[in-house]
Amino acid sequence: MTVVMGRAAREARGSGSPRGGSGRARKQPLLTTLTPYLFLLVPVTLLLVFVYLPSIDLVWYGFSDYAGLGTPKWVGLANYQEVYQRPELFRAFWVSLYYMVGSVVQMVLALYLATVLSFSVRFRNLWKGIIFFPFLLNTVAIAMIFQFAFQENGTVDAVLSLVGLGSVKQQWLGNTSIVNWSMVTVSIWRYLGLNFVIFLGAIQSIPGALYEAADLDGASRWQQFRYIIFPGIKPLVALSFILSIAGSLAAFDTPYIILKGANGTQTFVIEIVQLAFVESHKVGLASALAIILLVITLIVVVGLRRLLPDEKVNLT
């Protein structure tokens, strides 16, 4: 029976009929080849129209005297020379260092909490909800919360007085020596939940058999983290770290909404916005600053990728 069916199949393939299997065999490879490109067509088109083409305009504005209205005129490197001759524009980068430190603290806290809650802990779902909830709030609501919290005799001062630390009360938004740390605290509080959920999902994707084998071998929680958890999620941790550092260079919403960049909280992006739309309407100069920020961000990302290269993980 098998020999007869095989012979029939060979005859059908060799018949050359356009309605047979050979016709479908010629069409399927073409469709298979085109399918990924068809799926990519729409998102790539949207990226070209709304991201890359405006980026080309941004580069052009950086070499012009564009003020937001009228026809821009070519001024060559004049905007970049002005940036070089105004060192106060680069002072905003020092503010970014606060957010870089905050990004590291945020990553460590998120990894620690995700590791702890990946094990059996009472009320684990409740803790997960509490940690992730701040990320669901919008920036304006968060700004209002912390404006009340940081004001004189506000929530922070009340808590400090309650625990006997009333002597360390400060002008949290008025003291220029600590105001950026206050802003960084808000940023950590808001974005901690996002990294926490990402790390927790990655940890839970590690096969449970590895934990069982580690328990049988008498491994402690720290040893399980060191030899199972961290190697298993290391690529994700590296990627999240790079994105957090890159994001710290572009910090904007929290210091702008709470203080409008006052008291030394002006970041590089706030500087760009104020130059382009608030104070002087120097869109050309602001575009040059945006290009400089993009170049610096690319340099930092490439440097971090070399320090934290992709590694193949094999936990089997």
Residues 6+ apart with CB under 8 A from 173: 147, 150, 151, 179, 182, 258, 259, 263
Rounded to 5°, the CA angle 295-297-301 comes to 120
Q: In the prediction, which pLDDT does 4 show?
A: 44
Q: In the prediction, which pLDDT does 133 show?
A: 92
Q: In the prediction, which pLDDT does 315 show?
A: 52
Q: Name the DSSP class of 123.
A: T
Walking along the chain (316 residues) 10 residues at a time, the average pLDDT comes out as 46 46 58 84 92 90 85 87 82 86 93 91 90 90 88 87 84 88 91 92 90 88 90 88 86 86 85 82 88 89 80 56
The domain limits of the chain are 32-77, 87-307
* Fold of the domain spanning 87-307: MetI-like fold (1.10.3720)
Cα–Cα separations (whole angstroms), residue 275 to 135, 157, 281, 290:
30, 36, 6, 11
Q: Are 202 and 233 in contact (CB under 8 A)?
A: yes
Q: In the prediction, which pLDDT does 72 show?
A: 84
Tokens of 112: 């620690």
Q: In the prediction, which pLDDT does 198 show?
A: 93
Please name the residue ranges forming H helices in the chain.
2-14, 21-47, 53-62, 78-85, 92-118, 124-136, 139-150, 155-162, 179-204, 208-216, 221-224, 230-249, 253-259, 268-273, 283-307
